[in-house]
Chain A
Amino acid sequence: NAGVTQTPKFRVLKTGQSMTLLCAQDMNHEYMYWYRQDPGMGLRLIHYSVGEGTTAKGEVPDGYNVSRLKKQNFLLGLESAAPSQTSVYFCASSYPDTYEQYFGPGTRLTVT
């Protein structure tokens, strides 16, 4: 039981490049989330999903897209990376009605 895993762990992009971050969970959770963590700002919700095939915008969705084609996977895409997207990205998942989110180990992204 691996819990929540994220791929890759580290990435450096040049401005304008694109990439996809992969989140996978093996707990059969319905809900999945993508956050970004910046110093002094806590975690901010980018996008979330309440089930396979569904996605919704969070607090800071601009510049990101997501997809949830399979229940266990939640992809976060950056179509044209900007230096402002330099951050640590966390994925989380949860069952409905528990309010306990399980977090992955994070992806550290640097955009130069």
Chain B
Amino acid sequence: AQSVTQLGSHVSVSEGALVLLRCNYSSSVPPYLFWYVQYPNQGLQLLLKYTTGATLVKGINGFEAEFKKSETSFHLTKPSAHMSDAAEYFCAVRSGGAQKLVFGQGTRLTINP
């Protein structure tokens, strides 16, 4: 069975600082990995995804993530945080057919001015 663990339910950084959100996964098949973002009172929006190929994946809004098979990790980073990055972030892994996803618990990112 596939599963996702996000380390830290709440991360707080200063504006302009590095953002690092951690995600570890467990998968019995080659993983397809995703990061979604949820702004307050909205649905989720895809930030980036890894399926095959290059292990460093770039997404929207300056975010990127690196797939590390040996560490079963897919951490999300952004070099310089902006106030508009405040949101909840979810890591997800492919789970079986029909493009089903298993989501992590979510990490709430707060940006301090």
Contact = CB atoms under 8 A, between A and B. Distances in A.
Interface of B: 4, 9, 32, 34, 41-46, 49, 51, 90, 94, 98-106
A92 B51 CA distance: 20
A103 interface: yes
Contact of A100 (B46, B90, B100): B46
Nearest to A90: B43
Nearest to B98: A50
A31 B99 contact: yes
A45 interface: yes
Chain A interface extent, by class: 20 to 34
A96 interface: yes
Given A42-B90, A90-B44, A105-B42, A48 B98 contact: yes
Nearest to B45: A103
Given A31-B99, A94-B99, A100-B49, A42 B104 contact: yes
Main secondary structure of the interface of A (DSSP, over half): loop
Contacts of A45: 100-101
A55 B15 CA distance: 45
Contact of A104 (B41, B43, B46, B101): B43
Contacts of A99: 32, 34, 49, 51, 94, 99, 101
Contacts of B94: 99
Contacts of B46: 100-101
